[in-house]
Amino acid sequence: EEGTLNSEEWVLISHDRQEIQRLMWDYVGIVRSDLRLSRAERRIRLIADEIEDFYKRTRVNEELLELRNLACVATLIIDSARFRKESRGLHFTTDYPERDDRFWGHDTLIHQHFGIQMCLPGPFEW
């Protein structure tokens, strides 16, 4: 079988889960800012790249798949938060303290096309 079960590498990967959780709590939680979201985006992409590299050269297991999915969802949340220029519900954005129903009172669709991820404003017909 291909891949590795090197315990030192698995320790690094297990720390990625905690790092993603801390990053999302500290930078993308209830109070947000453009600066925090920007930092979160850079850091999560670095972590996601490390996870993807590990994924390609090791035996896949449930924990690794969950970690990979966690990084993907974190990226989607950050992208959506950076796209929406308003405060809504419990999420307060210091750079955009007001709610804006006129422009943002709808769902946001995140679409990937040819490897490029885009946020699209609604409304959408489901």
Q: pTM for the complete prediction? A: 0.76
Rounded to whole angstroms, how far apart are CA atoms 49 and 29?
Answer: 22
Neighbouring C-beta atoms of residue 88, cutoff 10 Å: 15
pLDDT tens for 33-81 read 999 999 999 999 999 999 999 888 888 888 889 999 999 999 988 988 8
The enclosing domain of 94 has a CATH number of 1.20.58.100
Is residue 1 assigned to a domain?
no
Distance CA 100, CA 83 (A): 13
**pLDDT over 60 (residue 17):** yes
What is the domain range of residue 103?
A: 7-121
Residue 86 confidence (pLDDT) above 70: yes
Assigned domain for 2 exists: no
The three-class DSSP label of residue 32 is strand
DSSP letters along 77-119, please? HHHHHHH--S-BTTBEETTB-S--HHHHSS-EEEEEETTEEEE
Is residue 46 situated within a structural domain? yes
Count of domains in the chain? 1
